[in-house]
Amino acid sequence: MPKAANRVYFDSSSTTKINDEVLATYKELLTNYYVNSESLYSEGTEIYRMLERSRAAAASLLGVEPSEIIYTSGSSEANSSAVKGVSFACPGKKHIITTQIEHSSLLNACRQMENIFGYDVTYLPVDRYGTVKAEDVLRNLRDDTVLVSVMHVNNETGAVNPIAEIAEIVKKKSHAYFHTDMTQSVGKIPISLRNVDLASMSAHKIEGLKGSGILIRKTHVPFVPLINGGEQEFGLRGGTSNAPVNIVFAKTLRLALENREKYHDHIASLSDHLKEELTKIPGIEMNTPEAAMDGIVNFSYENIPSEVMQNALNQAGFMVSARSTCESHSNNPSYVLTAMGYSDRRASSSIRVSLSRFNTAEETDRFILALKEIIAHYG
Protein backbone atom coordinates (compact mmCIF):
# COMPACT_ATOMS: atom_id res chain seq x y z
CA MET A 1 0.00 0.00 0.00
CA PRO A 2 1.30 3.48 -0.81
CA LYS A 3 2.56 5.46 2.12
CA ALA A 4 0.04 7.89 3.63
CA ALA A 5 2.52 10.71 4.01
CA ASN A 6 2.29 13.40 1.37
CA ARG A 7 -0.62 11.68 -0.31
CA VAL A 8 -3.24 14.08 -1.56
CA TYR A 9 -6.92 13.26 -1.19
CA PHE A 10 -8.87 14.65 -4.14
CA ASP A 11 -11.84 12.33 -3.96
CA SER A 12 -14.22 13.93 -1.48
CA SER A 13 -17.28 13.42 -3.67
CA SER A 14 -16.62 9.72 -3.35
CA THR A 15 -16.41 9.81 0.41
CA THR A 16 -14.96 12.03 3.09
CA LYS A 17 -12.72 11.85 6.07
CA ILE A 18 -14.82 11.53 9.21
CA ASN A 19 -15.26 14.68 11.27
CA ASP A 20 -13.41 14.50 14.62
CA GLU A 21 -16.46 15.55 16.59
CA VAL A 22 -18.66 13.01 14.86
CA LEU A 23 -16.13 10.29 15.50
CA ALA A 24 -15.78 11.15 19.18
CA THR A 25 -19.54 11.08 19.68
CA TYR A 26 -19.88 7.85 17.74
CA LYS A 27 -17.22 6.13 19.84
CA GLU A 28 -18.92 7.26 23.00
CA LEU A 29 -22.30 6.01 21.80
CA LEU A 30 -20.93 2.73 20.54
CA THR A 31 -19.22 2.01 23.83
CA ASN A 32 -21.88 3.07 26.26
CA TYR A 33 -25.17 2.83 24.44
CA TYR A 34 -25.26 -0.67 23.10
CA VAL A 35 -28.69 -1.89 24.19
CA ASN A 36 -31.58 -2.11 21.78
CA SER A 37 -33.31 1.22 21.38
CA GLU A 38 -36.65 -0.58 21.24
CA SER A 39 -36.19 -2.22 24.64
CA LEU A 40 -38.50 -1.08 27.41
CA TYR A 41 -35.99 -0.93 30.25
CA SER A 42 -34.60 2.47 31.15
CA GLU A 43 -31.34 2.06 29.20
CA GLY A 44 -33.25 1.19 26.05
CA THR A 45 -35.69 4.03 26.39
CA GLU A 46 -32.86 6.47 26.97
CA ILE A 47 -31.32 5.52 23.66
CA TYR A 48 -34.72 5.69 22.05
CA ARG A 49 -35.13 9.22 23.36
CA MET A 50 -31.71 10.22 22.09
CA LEU A 51 -32.55 8.76 18.72
CA GLU A 52 -35.81 10.65 18.52
CA ARG A 53 -34.21 13.88 19.70
CA SER A 54 -31.58 13.48 17.10
CA ARG A 55 -34.24 12.86 14.48
CA ALA A 56 -36.01 16.04 15.60
CA ALA A 57 -32.75 17.99 15.45
CA ALA A 58 -32.05 16.78 11.91
CA ALA A 59 -35.64 17.55 10.93
CA SER A 60 -35.41 21.07 12.23
CA LEU A 61 -32.17 21.65 10.32
CA LEU A 62 -33.96 20.56 7.16
CA GLY A 63 -37.27 22.25 7.89
CA VAL A 64 -39.33 19.06 7.91
CA GLU A 65 -41.24 17.10 10.55
CA PRO A 66 -39.35 14.47 12.56
CA SER A 67 -41.70 11.78 11.25
CA GLU A 68 -40.62 12.68 7.74
CA ILE A 69 -37.08 11.42 8.28
CA ILE A 70 -36.43 7.71 7.69
CA TYR A 71 -32.95 6.53 8.61
CA THR A 72 -31.39 4.33 5.95
CA SER A 73 -28.07 2.66 5.26
CA GLY A 74 -27.19 5.50 2.89
CA SER A 75 -28.25 7.17 -0.31
CA SER A 76 -28.31 4.02 -2.40
CA GLU A 77 -30.95 2.56 -0.14
CA ALA A 78 -32.79 5.87 0.03
CA ASN A 79 -32.82 6.16 -3.76
CA SER A 80 -33.93 2.57 -4.35
CA SER A 81 -36.59 2.89 -1.66
CA ALA A 82 -37.91 6.14 -3.05
CA VAL A 83 -38.43 4.65 -6.50
CA LYS A 84 -39.91 1.36 -5.39
CA GLY A 85 -41.62 2.47 -2.20
CA VAL A 86 -43.68 5.16 -3.91
CA SER A 87 -44.37 3.21 -7.11
CA PHE A 88 -45.61 0.13 -5.28
CA ALA A 89 -47.80 2.29 -3.05
CA CYS A 90 -49.61 3.73 -6.08
CA PRO A 91 -50.81 0.76 -8.08
CA GLY A 92 -52.31 1.67 -11.42
CA LYS A 93 -49.76 4.35 -12.17
CA LYS A 94 -47.00 2.84 -14.22
CA HIS A 95 -44.84 5.67 -15.49
CA ILE A 96 -41.64 7.05 -13.95
CA ILE A 97 -39.59 10.00 -15.17
CA THR A 98 -35.92 10.24 -14.33
CA THR A 99 -32.74 11.34 -16.09
CA GLN A 100 -29.89 9.68 -17.89
CA ILE A 101 -27.35 10.98 -15.40
CA GLU A 102 -28.70 9.69 -12.10
CA HIS A 103 -26.61 7.68 -9.70
CA SER A 104 -26.56 3.94 -10.46
CA SER A 105 -28.69 3.18 -7.38
CA LEU A 106 -31.52 5.19 -8.85
CA LEU A 107 -31.02 4.19 -12.48
CA ASN A 108 -30.88 0.50 -11.66
CA ALA A 109 -33.96 0.72 -9.48
CA CYS A 110 -35.77 2.30 -12.45
CA ARG A 111 -34.48 -0.40 -14.79
CA GLN A 112 -35.85 -3.02 -12.42
CA MET A 113 -39.20 -1.31 -12.42
CA GLU A 114 -39.06 -1.41 -16.20
CA ASN A 115 -37.75 -4.92 -16.77
CA ILE A 116 -39.31 -6.87 -13.92
CA PHE A 117 -42.43 -4.93 -13.02
CA GLY A 118 -43.42 -3.65 -16.45
CA TYR A 119 -43.20 0.07 -15.72
CA ASP A 120 -42.64 2.64 -18.40
CA VAL A 121 -39.61 4.77 -17.59
CA THR A 122 -38.62 7.99 -19.36
CA TYR A 123 -34.91 8.78 -19.04
CA LEU A 124 -34.59 12.48 -19.76
CA PRO A 125 -31.54 13.69 -21.65
CA VAL A 126 -29.30 16.52 -20.47
CA ASP A 127 -27.95 19.46 -22.39
CA ARG A 128 -24.25 20.02 -23.05
CA TYR A 129 -23.94 21.66 -19.64
CA GLY A 130 -25.03 18.40 -18.07
CA THR A 131 -28.36 19.69 -16.77
CA VAL A 132 -31.92 18.58 -17.27
CA LYS A 133 -34.38 21.04 -18.78
CA ALA A 134 -37.47 21.71 -16.71
CA GLU A 135 -39.61 21.90 -19.82
CA ASP A 136 -38.55 18.35 -20.71
CA VAL A 137 -40.06 17.21 -17.43
CA LEU A 138 -43.25 19.09 -18.21
CA ARG A 139 -43.45 17.60 -21.71
CA ASN A 140 -43.12 14.07 -20.45
CA LEU A 141 -45.55 14.18 -17.54
CA ARG A 142 -48.52 11.86 -18.03
CA ASP A 143 -51.68 11.06 -16.13
CA ASP A 144 -50.11 7.80 -15.00
CA THR A 145 -46.77 9.30 -13.98
CA VAL A 146 -46.22 8.20 -10.40
CA LEU A 147 -42.76 9.60 -9.71
CA VAL A 148 -40.31 12.13 -11.09
CA SER A 149 -36.77 11.77 -9.83
CA VAL A 150 -34.08 14.29 -10.73
CA MET A 151 -30.80 14.55 -8.86
CA HIS A 152 -29.82 17.94 -7.45
CA VAL A 153 -26.10 17.91 -8.22
CA ASN A 154 -24.46 15.38 -10.48
CA ASN A 155 -21.73 13.39 -8.79
CA GLU A 156 -19.43 13.25 -11.80
CA THR A 157 -19.59 16.78 -13.18
CA GLY A 158 -21.00 18.91 -10.39
CA ALA A 159 -23.75 20.15 -12.75
CA VAL A 160 -26.68 21.60 -10.81
CA ASN A 161 -30.19 20.72 -11.96
CA PRO A 162 -33.00 23.29 -11.64
CA ILE A 163 -34.86 21.21 -9.08
CA ALA A 164 -36.82 24.09 -7.57
CA GLU A 165 -38.34 24.76 -10.98
CA ILE A 166 -38.90 21.06 -11.69
CA ALA A 167 -40.45 20.48 -8.27
CA GLU A 168 -42.89 23.29 -8.86
CA ILE A 169 -43.86 21.92 -12.27
CA VAL A 170 -44.42 18.44 -10.89
CA LYS A 171 -46.49 19.84 -8.03
CA LYS A 172 -48.61 22.14 -10.14
CA LYS A 173 -49.00 20.22 -13.37
CA SER A 174 -49.35 16.63 -12.25
CA HIS A 175 -50.30 14.24 -9.50
CA ALA A 176 -46.84 12.66 -9.52
CA TYR A 177 -44.44 12.82 -6.58
CA PHE A 178 -41.05 14.45 -6.88
CA HIS A 179 -37.89 12.87 -5.53
CA THR A 180 -34.43 14.34 -5.64
CA ASP A 181 -31.10 12.82 -4.78
CA MET A 182 -29.33 15.46 -2.68
CA THR A 183 -26.32 13.35 -1.84
CA GLN A 184 -23.84 15.69 -3.50
CA SER A 185 -25.54 18.99 -2.78
CA VAL A 186 -26.24 18.89 0.94
CA GLY A 187 -23.53 20.68 2.86
CA LYS A 188 -22.12 22.10 -0.38
CA ILE A 189 -24.78 24.45 -1.75
CA PRO A 190 -28.02 25.77 -0.23
CA ILE A 191 -30.84 23.27 -0.41
CA SER A 192 -34.59 23.73 -0.24
CA LEU A 193 -37.24 21.05 0.23
CA ARG A 194 -40.07 23.25 -1.00
CA ASN A 195 -42.36 21.20 -3.28
CA VAL A 196 -40.00 18.26 -2.85
CA ASP A 197 -41.83 15.10 -1.77
CA LEU A 198 -38.84 12.86 -1.18
CA ALA A 199 -35.08 13.39 -0.93
CA SER A 200 -32.03 11.23 -0.33
CA MET A 201 -28.97 12.15 1.70
CA SER A 202 -25.88 10.33 2.81
CA ALA A 203 -23.69 10.87 5.86
CA HIS A 204 -20.35 9.76 4.49
CA LYS A 205 -20.30 12.50 1.86
CA ILE A 206 -20.45 15.12 4.60
CA GLU A 207 -17.78 13.84 6.97
CA GLY A 208 -20.11 11.33 8.59
CA LEU A 209 -20.27 7.58 8.88
CA LYS A 210 -20.45 5.13 6.03
CA GLY A 211 -23.61 3.07 5.99
CA SER A 212 -25.69 6.02 7.16
CA GLY A 213 -28.19 8.18 5.38
CA ILE A 214 -31.76 9.34 5.33
CA LEU A 215 -34.74 9.30 3.07
CA ILE A 216 -36.92 12.33 3.60
CA ARG A 217 -40.49 11.41 2.85
CA LYS A 218 -43.12 14.06 3.40
CA THR A 219 -46.16 12.88 5.31
CA HIS A 220 -48.58 12.98 2.39
CA VAL A 221 -46.52 10.63 0.22
CA PRO A 222 -47.77 7.03 0.08
CA PHE A 223 -44.97 4.61 0.74
CA VAL A 224 -44.49 0.85 0.94
CA PRO A 225 -41.54 -0.30 3.03
CA LEU A 226 -38.90 -2.32 1.21
CA ILE A 227 -37.50 -3.80 4.37
CA ASN A 228 -40.20 -5.33 6.50
CA GLY A 229 -39.83 -5.73 10.21
CA GLY A 230 -41.14 -4.19 13.38
CA GLU A 231 -42.44 -0.73 13.93
CA GLN A 232 -39.03 0.92 13.64
CA GLU A 233 -38.91 4.07 11.52
CA PHE A 234 -42.70 4.42 11.70
CA GLY A 235 -43.05 0.97 10.17
CA LEU A 236 -41.39 2.20 6.98
CA ARG A 237 -38.07 0.44 7.41
CA GLY A 238 -37.80 -2.66 9.55
CA GLY A 239 -34.80 -3.93 11.45
CA THR A 240 -33.19 -3.11 14.77
CA SER A 241 -32.33 0.52 14.58
CA ASN A 242 -28.63 1.25 14.18
CA ALA A 243 -29.04 3.73 16.98
CA PRO A 244 -25.46 5.04 17.47
CA VAL A 245 -25.08 5.58 13.73
CA ASN A 246 -28.46 7.25 13.37
CA ILE A 247 -28.00 9.40 16.46
CA VAL A 248 -24.81 10.99 15.10
CA PHE A 249 -26.50 11.83 11.80
CA ALA A 250 -27.93 15.05 13.24
CA LYS A 251 -24.52 16.20 14.41
CA THR A 252 -23.00 15.27 11.05
CA LEU A 253 -25.63 17.30 9.24
CA ARG A 254 -25.39 20.26 11.60
CA LEU A 255 -21.61 20.48 11.25
CA ALA A 256 -21.86 20.11 7.47
CA LEU A 257 -24.35 22.95 7.21
CA GLU A 258 -22.29 25.14 9.54
CA ASN A 259 -19.09 24.37 7.67
CA ARG A 260 -20.67 24.98 4.29
CA GLU A 261 -20.63 28.73 4.69
CA LYS A 262 -17.34 28.75 6.49
CA TYR A 263 -15.40 26.86 3.82
CA HIS A 264 -17.33 27.61 0.67
CA ASP A 265 -15.01 30.42 -0.44
CA HIS A 266 -11.92 28.36 0.19
CA ILE A 267 -13.20 25.44 -1.89
CA ALA A 268 -14.46 27.76 -4.61
CA SER A 269 -11.12 29.49 -4.95
CA LEU A 270 -9.29 26.15 -5.11
CA SER A 271 -11.55 24.79 -7.81
CA ASP A 272 -11.47 28.05 -9.79
CA HIS A 273 -7.71 28.02 -9.68
CA LEU A 274 -7.58 24.37 -10.69
CA LYS A 275 -9.92 24.90 -13.63
CA GLU A 276 -7.95 27.90 -14.78
CA GLU A 277 -4.64 26.04 -14.70
CA LEU A 278 -6.09 22.91 -16.33
CA THR A 279 -7.52 24.80 -19.29
CA LYS A 280 -4.04 26.18 -19.96
CA ILE A 281 -2.74 22.67 -20.61
CA PRO A 282 -3.08 21.81 -24.30
CA GLY A 283 -5.35 18.83 -24.93
CA ILE A 284 -7.25 19.08 -21.68
CA GLU A 285 -10.98 19.48 -22.04
CA MET A 286 -13.15 20.62 -19.18
CA ASN A 287 -16.20 18.42 -18.61
CA THR A 288 -17.45 20.28 -15.58
CA PRO A 289 -19.73 23.02 -16.88
CA GLU A 290 -19.13 26.63 -15.97
CA ALA A 291 -22.20 26.92 -13.74
CA ALA A 292 -21.41 23.76 -11.78
CA MET A 293 -21.09 23.45 -8.03
CA ASP A 294 -17.68 24.40 -6.69
CA GLY A 295 -15.50 21.53 -5.57
CA ILE A 296 -15.95 19.10 -8.45
CA VAL A 297 -13.56 19.43 -11.41
CA ASN A 298 -14.03 16.87 -14.15
CA PHE A 299 -11.76 16.93 -17.19
CA SER A 300 -10.54 14.65 -19.98
CA TYR A 301 -7.21 14.20 -21.69
CA GLU A 302 -8.21 12.04 -24.57
CA ASN A 303 -4.82 10.45 -25.23
CA ILE A 304 -4.71 8.83 -21.81
CA PRO A 305 -7.65 6.63 -20.76
CA SER A 306 -9.11 7.18 -17.30
CA GLU A 307 -7.67 4.07 -15.76
CA VAL A 308 -4.13 4.76 -16.93
CA MET A 309 -4.36 8.36 -15.81
CA GLN A 310 -5.67 7.30 -12.42
CA ASN A 311 -2.83 4.85 -11.97
CA ALA A 312 -0.24 7.43 -12.96
CA LEU A 313 -1.75 10.02 -10.63
CA ASN A 314 -1.88 7.42 -7.87
CA GLN A 315 1.83 6.82 -8.27
CA ALA A 316 2.41 10.53 -8.13
CA GLY A 317 0.51 10.65 -4.84
CA PHE A 318 -2.96 11.80 -5.88
CA MET A 319 -6.20 10.02 -5.08
CA VAL A 320 -8.78 10.85 -7.73
CA SER A 321 -11.73 9.12 -9.40
CA ALA A 322 -12.70 8.74 -13.00
CA ARG A 323 -16.44 8.45 -13.17
CA SER A 324 -18.64 7.74 -10.22
CA THR A 325 -16.74 5.61 -7.74
CA CYS A 326 -19.69 3.26 -7.64
CA GLU A 327 -18.95 2.55 -11.31
CA SER A 328 -15.18 2.41 -10.93
CA HIS A 329 -14.89 -1.26 -11.71
CA SER A 330 -16.50 -0.99 -15.11
CA ASN A 331 -14.53 0.00 -18.17
CA ASN A 332 -17.43 1.58 -20.03
CA PRO A 333 -17.28 5.24 -20.92
CA SER A 334 -18.96 7.51 -18.41
CA TYR A 335 -22.70 7.47 -19.14
CA VAL A 336 -22.96 10.96 -17.71
CA LEU A 337 -20.45 12.40 -20.17
CA THR A 338 -22.00 10.36 -22.98
CA ALA A 339 -25.38 11.86 -22.11
CA MET A 340 -23.81 15.30 -22.36
CA GLY A 341 -22.97 14.47 -25.97
CA TYR A 342 -19.26 13.85 -25.56
CA SER A 343 -17.45 11.23 -27.61
CA ASP A 344 -16.68 7.77 -26.24
CA ARG A 345 -13.02 8.71 -26.27
CA ARG A 346 -13.59 11.79 -24.13
CA ALA A 347 -16.03 9.93 -21.89
CA SER A 348 -13.44 7.16 -21.39
CA SER A 349 -10.65 9.47 -20.37
CA SER A 350 -12.32 11.58 -17.73
CA ILE A 351 -10.84 12.36 -14.35
CA ARG A 352 -12.80 13.76 -11.45
CA VAL A 353 -11.05 15.84 -8.84
CA SER A 354 -13.30 16.57 -5.88
CA LEU A 355 -12.14 18.95 -3.19
CA SER A 356 -12.84 19.45 0.48
CA ARG A 357 -12.05 22.03 3.13
CA PHE A 358 -8.85 20.11 3.93
CA ASN A 359 -7.26 20.64 0.51
CA THR A 360 -4.77 23.42 -0.05
CA ALA A 361 -3.51 25.61 -2.88
CA GLU A 362 -0.17 23.91 -2.54
CA GLU A 363 -1.86 20.60 -3.35
CA THR A 364 -3.61 21.89 -6.44
CA ASP A 365 -0.36 23.41 -7.66
CA ARG A 366 1.47 20.14 -7.16
CA PHE A 367 -1.34 18.37 -8.98
CA ILE A 368 -0.96 20.55 -12.03
CA LEU A 369 2.78 19.90 -12.12
CA ALA A 370 2.30 16.15 -11.78
CA LEU A 371 -0.35 16.13 -14.45
CA LYS A 372 1.90 17.98 -16.86
CA GLU A 373 4.65 15.45 -16.26
CA ILE A 374 2.31 12.52 -16.82
CA ILE A 375 1.05 14.04 -20.06
CA ALA A 376 4.59 14.69 -21.24
CA HIS A 377 5.53 11.12 -20.45
CA TYR A 378 2.52 9.08 -21.55
CA GLY A 379 0.53 11.45 -23.70
Partner 1 sequence: MVKYDTVLIRYGELTTKGKNRKDFIRQLERNIRHILEDIDGLVYERTYDRMYIRLNGADSETVGERLKKVFGISSFSFTEKVASDIETISQTCLRIAAESGKNTFKIIARRHDKTFPLVSDQINRAAASVILKNTDLRVDVHQPELPIYIEVHREYTYITSDKIRGAGGYPTGINGRVLLLLSGGIDSPVAAYELMKRGLRVEAVHFAAPPYTSDNARQKVIDLAGMVSEYQGSMRVHVINFTNLQLKIYEKAGDSYAITIMRRMMFRIAEAVARRENCLAIATGESIGQVASQTLESMSVINDVVRIPVIRPLVCADKIEIIDLARKIGTYETSILPYEDCCTIFDPKNPVTKPTLKRCEEIEEKFEYQPYIEECITGEEIVIAEPKKEREDYL
Residues annotated as catalytic (active site), given as ranges: 326
Of the pair 6, 42, the CB lying nearest partner 1 is at 42
Question: Is residue 62 a contact point for partner 1 (CB under 8 A)?
Answer: no
Residue 89 C-beta: closest distance to partner 1, Å: 24
Of the pair 58, 151, the CB lying nearest partner 1 is at 58
Question: Is residue 173 a contact point for partner 1 (CB under 8 A)?
Answer: no
Question: Is residue 357 a contact point for partner 1 (CB under 8 A)?
Answer: no
Of the pair 53, 139, the CB lying nearest partner 1 is at 53
Among 62, 86, 163, 247, binds partner 1 (CB under 8 A): 247
Of the pair 53, 128, the CB lying nearest partner 1 is at 53
Contact partners, residue 115, CB within 8 Å, separation at least 6: none
Question: Is residue 254 a contact point for partner 1 (CB under 8 A)?
Answer: yes
Question: Is residue 66 a contact point for partner 1 (CB under 8 A)?
Answer: yes
User: Which of these segments, 25-33, 89-97, 169-177, 300-308, binds partner 1 (CB under 8 A)?
Assistant: 25-33
Among 53, 128, 173, 175, binds partner 1 (CB under 8 A): 53
By CB under 8 A, how many residues form the interface with partner 1? 20
Residue 49 C-beta: closest distance to partner 1, Å: 7
Question: Is residue 277 a contact point for partner 1 (CB under 8 A)?
Answer: no
CB count, 10 Å around CB of 329? 6
User: Which of these segments, 84-92, 99-107, 244-252, 285-293, binds partner 1 (CB under 8 A)?
Assistant: 244-252
Residue 370 C-beta: closest distance to partner 1, Å: 41
Residue 58's identity, in one-letter code, is A
Residue 43 C-beta: closest distance to partner 1, Å: 11
Q: CA 147, CA 346: separation in Å to the nearest integer?
A: 33
Question: Is residue 250 a contact point for partner 1 (CB under 8 A)?
Answer: yes
Question: Is residue 50 a contact point for partner 1 (CB under 8 A)?
Answer: yes
Question: Is residue 65 a contact point for partner 1 (CB under 8 A)?
Answer: yes
Residues that bind partner 1 (CB under 8 A): 25, 28-29, 40, 42, 45, 48-50, 53-54, 56-57, 65-66, 247-248, 250-251, 254
